[in-house]
Structure 1
Amino acid sequence: MTDQFEFSHRRRALLVAMAAAGAASSVGASAASMRRVASAPGGGTRRISQLIGANGWPVTPADIDMWKAMGITWGRDSVGPGQRHSPEDPVEVDKTGAAFDHDLPPAILQNDRNGIHSLLLLGYTPKWNASVPGDSRSAPKDDSVWTRYVETVVRTYVAPPYNVRHFQIWNEAAGPLSGGAAQATFWHGGKHLAVQRAQHAQVTPYDRAMQDYVELVHVPAARIVRKYGGYVVYGGWPDQGGLETYMKWLEYRSPVAKARMIDWVDYLDTHYLGVDALTPLYERYVTNGPARGVWQTEIGDRYMMDPHYLPMYFFKFAVWALDHNWDDPDKYVSMIYHWDGFEPYRLTHRGNPRTYNVSGRSLIVLNQTVGGALAPFEGHVAFDRNASGLALRSGSDVVIQVRASPGRKTVRVDGWQGSHSGVRMIDALTGEAADAAALSARVDGSSVSIDLDVPEDVNGGGAAPVHLAYLVVSSRA
């Protein structure tokens, strides 16, 4: 998209990790109450597509078709440009994209028509209002410019025909970061940088960066979002920041705002973490509130150089969500950065026509193979040496994602209820079904033992090549 989400400044921690897997008016308050009730958690089926989002918007009908094939149901992009040049400018909020060069209203309406939810990113500071001259990632000099922009965005897009409910405040706002950069790329705090530069001093971390963010940016914006009945999505805590540091600032009680930041967050949000890292956030803030769910609004990027990354991430995410009270379809979302581009690991290759890359095809296979109503598999799955995996129910099928080295392997499924009508093995990247001769299944009471031949020509690379596939055990009607 733009340097708003650029990866070129991502920290060395990411490369290392790649080796490892205010009060409203009575009218406003009444409308807000009605909107929040209307979007309260409910029942219904859970599907893999509810978990999958991407950065950017689909533009053409062909883009929409590709998103649907990949199961992408969330998009995320900017809204602005606000008051671009001076305080006399009108507050413009009808553009989106890298340079605010695309029309936002038709993009949202097109998303709505096609079952795609829109997350609007609120940011940043107009350069003329920056406390660090010319730095759009620094705190605003005049706070009212920021709140006027936020109010205009939220008031405009919560209303029909847009009906947007989710607003993200800033992007990767953090102070000094543990294990990575001294300062966050997208939040530079107050005017300390300008002073250091004027004195030709070495730029050092700004200890009050997060206090500034809470008091000047987050809480004022969150009050506006909630006033209109919207939901506040945290701006994405960067991966190298550390969860302990994140929790510290979520629980920081500002004497100025007279609130903790967590009291003004509906959806916690991190970037580029594994699924297991979401558990402590869930246990601490979601199980009994105050947060409604846990999101990641950026995952993937160069991690997708491993073709197994996306299908493994989202299959595990689905298993995790089913085990963590997935009682609201919006409770858990992860958004891929980025859905198109020229790098071979993006979901699609930009061009005319646009084509799928391996990562995009793997999402199509996942969406087709695990496209039914999801439920936990209550049994137990055991794997041979040099094999591993997870299982869930998709409709009437039990689907086992298995990652294994070449050769003959056995997967034992205990706790199977009823009889099965057959087993299929599907390549997780291509969707190609293995020859029936490569599979056999034996039933012993409530257990099914599946013998499979993992091909020598595996679909994963690395020092110890492995193959990723789905075993689909179908129930007999």
Structure 2
Amino acid sequence: MRVTSIAGRRRALRLLAALAAAGTPLARGKTAPSLTPGSRSQGLRGRRMTELIGSNGWAGAASDVQMWRAMGISWGRGSVGPGQADGPQDVMRIDKTSSAFDADLPPALLANDRNGIGSLLLLGYTPGWNASVPGDGNSAPVDVDAWERYVEAVVRTYSAPPYNLRYFQIWNEAAGRLSGGLAQATFWHGPDADGNVKSSKPYARAMQDYVERIHIPAARIIRKYHAYVVYGGWPDQGGLDNFRTWLEYRSPVLKERMLDWVDYIDTHYLPVADLDSLYQQYVRNGPARGIWQTEIGDEYMKDPHYLPRYFFDFAVWALDRNWDHPNKYLSMIYHWDGYEPFRLTHRGPPRRTYNPSGRSLVVLNQTANGSLASFATPLQFDPGASGSALLSGHDVVMQVSAAPGWQSVAVAGLKPLAARNARVEFIDALSGTASAQDNVALAWNEQTLKIRFKVPDRVNGADNKPPRHLAYVVVRGGA
């Protein structure tokens, strides 16, 4: 609910001035800027929750686009090909997408542009006739020139009008021996691949072959067209220490580091907290421009709390880490469409509907749909609850995870508030239903704001152990 009256806006501003007055460190990060004029947080105003949310695949029909908008999805990711599928004499085909290259790519990209959706094209893989492991498209090319012809055709075509794409991803989950124990990665195979990732022998040249035969050749072409290089999605089983070794590897042949040919660090399926070391090492002072995760979700979405918690945490994290560009931080859900009950939507028949994970994004997008800023005051929860907060427009939005029964959160160290008409709402994070007014209350005790809220006995995370309820406590300044 938005504040529409002048008096309501003034009350909201007085409320936020009091809430921000303490300017104390945010419990989750290093330091959170206050909302005083000229502060870093004031400069970050304008960032939106939707800028963080993408999906694998493309929206198709107009009704799909409407659902993407409702969920706050602002980016899509898909393949491009098939290239020269049957031999070097083939005509170069780069007009198809999907895993089977059975859908038209140009109209999907043009539709994305019309609807304000960004497009990331995934460059890969090796056609069987050019594979170093015979017939294996997940192995290095024998003829690197053939790989470069494909990349050149894609980037030259889609970086130009009417598409004007600026982001291209090189390969997908290329890695060597994984920290989880596998000798070879799922999408990067060497000579000793035997078709079974569990029994294959290690790929000794995995890193060198990828850097010299795939990444740097493709990155040179991408940058030639003034576009950005998105790393190929480091797998979560790979281990961050291994990832750093790959990023910082200097080719003895090319005499260059792969890291210097990466604009956006990209990982898959990691929790938000794991991104921080990558930010501190590679983004805070360069050379990379940002951090993306081009795959999150999948079976993690069986937990209906996963997505709303992930993206709220991601926003809180990003606001405290110089989120100075709309494309600096992004995570893309795998997948928005399908028949499994944990996907964002069920495609039907008879018509497409939201699954709980998709509905949770709708609720998040509706609840935190304003211009974002850090909330610079620690939250003090009862033992049965936990959470974090941010500012969204004129609202203070707290995401709380709590056990059933009455719980409370206190915000201490605030100056007395003149506006007594501040309202508070307790909103179910999955359904969007606001609780009855007598189940949530706001009170002031000297310089402490205290909010009591009643968590229902039937929580929305019943499969969690122990059962927890995920909700938003929203403090509004309206009458």
Q: Which bin holds the TM-score, normalised by the shorter protein? A: 0.7 to 0.9
Is 2:307 aligned against 1:310? yes
Give the Cα separation in 1 of the matches to 2:358 and 2:414: 32
C-alpha contact (below 8 Å) 1:380/1:415 kept by paired residues = no
Which residue, 334, 339, 350 being the options, matches 1:337? Answer: 334
SS of 2:172's equivalent in the other structure is coil
- Name the amino acid aligned to 1:357: N
Give the Cα separation in 1 of the matches to 2:265 and 2:139: 23
Aligned positions of 1:285-434 closer than 5 A: 285-352=282-349, 353-416=351-414, 418=417, 419=419, 421-434=422-435
> Per-residue CA shift, 1:184-232, capped at 9, x if unaligned?
000113x3447x99xxxx6311121111000000000000000001100
Q: What count of residue pairs does the alignment treat as equivalent?
A: 430
C-alpha contact (below 8 Å) 2:443/2:451 kept by paired residues = yes
Give the Cα separation in 2 of the matches to 1:115 and 1:176: 39
- Name the amino acid aligned to 1:313: Y
SS of 1:260's equivalent in the other structure is coil
> Cα RMSD between the aligned structures?
1.6
Cross-structure match for 1:168:
169
Aligned positions of 1:151-300 closer than 5 A: 151-189=152-190, 191-193=191-193, 203-300=200-297
C-alpha contact (below 8 Å) 2:74/2:118 kept by paired residues = yes
C-alpha contact (below 8 Å) 1:173/1:186 kept by paired residues = yes
- Name the amino acid aligned to 2:361: L
Give the Cα separation in 2 of the matches to 1:116 and 1:317: 20
C-alpha contact (below 8 Å) 1:378/1:415 kept by paired residues = no
CA 1:146 to 1:416, structure 2 compared with 1: closer, same or farther past 3 Å? farther
Cross-structure match for 2:444:
443
Give the Cα separation in 1 of the matches to 2:217 and 2:87: 21
What TM-score, normalized by structure 2, do the two folds share? 0.88
Q: Structure 2, unaligned stretches of length 5 or more?
A: 1-42
Cross-structure match for 2:465:
463
Give the Cα separation in 1 of the matches to 2:209 and 2:423: 60
Cross-structure match for 1:57:
58
Give the Cα separation in 1 of the matches to 2:204 and 2:396: 51
C-alpha contact (below 8 Å) 1:172/1:236 kept by paired residues = yes
> Per-residue CA shift, 1:312-357, capped at 9, x if unaligned?
0000000000010000100000000000101000000012411100
Cross-structure match for 1:102:
103
Runs of 4+ in 1 over 4 A off after TM superposition: 415-418
- Name the amino acid aligned to 2:79: S
C-alpha contact (below 8 Å) 2:184/2:200 kept by paired residues = no
Deviation at 1:410, TM superposition (A): 1.0
> Per-residue CA shift, 1:212-266, capped at 9, x if unaligned?
0000000000000000011000000000110011001100110112111110000
Give the Cα separation in 2 of the matches to 1:292 and 1:43: 16
- Name the amino acid aligned to 1:475: G
SS of 1:120's equivalent in the other structure is strand
CA 1:406 to 1:44, structure 2 compared with 1: closer, same or farther past 3 Å? closer
Give the Cα separation in 2 of the matches to 1:447 and 1:357: 39
SS of 2:55's equivalent in the other structure is strand
Cross-structure match for 2:133:
132
Give the Cα separation in 2 of the matches to 1:160 and 1:442: 57
Give the Cα separation in 1 of the matches to 2:63 and 2:447: 46
CA 1:389 to 1:43, structure 2 compared with 1: closer, same or farther past 3 Å? closer
> Per-residue CA shift, 1:57-93, capped at 9, x if unaligned?
0010010000000000010000000001111011111
Higher relative contact order (CA 8 A, sep 6+): 2
C-alpha contact (below 8 Å) 2:122/2:168 kept by paired residues = yes
- Name the amino acid aligned to 2:203: Y
Deviation at 1:45, TM superposition (A): 0.8
Cross-structure match for 2:76:
75
Cross-structure match for 1:141:
142
Give the Cα separation in 2 of the matches to 1:303 and 1:44: 31
Deviation at 1:44, TM superposition (A): 6.4
SS of 1:333's equivalent in the other structure is strand
SS of 1:186's equivalent in the other structure is coil
Cross-structure match for 1:23:
none
CA 1:472 to 1:415, structure 2 compared with 1: closer, same or farther past 3 Å? farther
Give the Cα separation in 1 of the matches to 2:332 and 2:233: 11
Deviation at 1:386, TM superposition (A): 1.9
C-alpha contact (below 8 Å) 2:55/2:77 kept by paired residues = yes
Give the Cα separation in 2 of the matches to 1:415 and 1:82: 62
SS of 2:359's equivalent in the other structure is helix
CA 1:151 to 1:43, structure 2 compared with 1: closer, same or farther past 3 Å? farther
Of the structure 1 ranges 173-182 and 327-336, higher mean CA displacement relative to structure 2 is found in 173-182
What TM-score, normalized by structure 1, do the two folds share? 0.88
C-alpha contact (below 8 Å) 2:44/2:323 kept by paired residues = no
- Name the amino acid aligned to 1:474: R
- Name the amino acid aligned to 1:414: A
SS of 2:234's equivalent in the other structure is coil
Q: Structure 1, unaligned stretches of length 5 or more?
A: 1-41
> Per-residue CA shift, 1:253-300, capped at 9, x if unaligned?
101121111100000000000000000000000011000000100000
Give the Cα separation in 2 of the matches to 1:52 and 1:415: 34
